[in-house]
Amino acid sequence: MRKAGPETPAIRLRRHGVRVSGGPWTLCGDRARGAHGQLILALGRAAGGAVTRSRIRRIAREVLGHGCDATGGTDLLLLARGDVSRQPRRQVRASLADLLSRFCAALARREADRKETHG
């Protein structure tokens, strides 16, 4: 039996955060605990070669860098579940922007539900 260690930010986001998927992407996130949010990119070999993964990291930082809004701060975890090496940059940017907008809407719905139930 493994001993439970401290919960990393990536584990916290996967367990308790809002999850949105589309195509090869999965985006998990929640409001930041501190003043500023962070972006965690988990791109394994399934996403493509090293050059492809570096290209995806640059694009993801550009598109997802501000989270839902620049004032509140959002912690985001981006997972690539499939090969994205054949997708052009424009398509990657568009799919990540769409994923972020869907995530922001889901996060707003969850926060509204919490306010209704907790008064």
pLDDT for res 73: 81
pLDDT for res 119: 60
Q: In what order do the strands lie in the sheet with 25-31?
A: 18-22, 25-31, 74-80, 39-42
In this predicted model, what pLDDT tens digit does every residue of 62-117 receive, in sequence order?
998 877 764 468 889 999 988 888 889 999 999 999 999 999 999 999 988 888 87
Nearest to 16 by CA among 7, 3, 25: 7
pLDDT for res 6: 81
Torsions phi, psi of 85, nearest 5? -70, -25
Expressed in angstroms, the distance from the first to the final Cα of the chain is 41
pLDDT above 90 covers a percentage of the chain that reads 48
What is the token pair recorded at 91? 């398509």
Let me know: does 75 contact 37? Beta carbons within 8 Å.
yes
pTM summary value: 0.85
pLDDT for res 93: 93
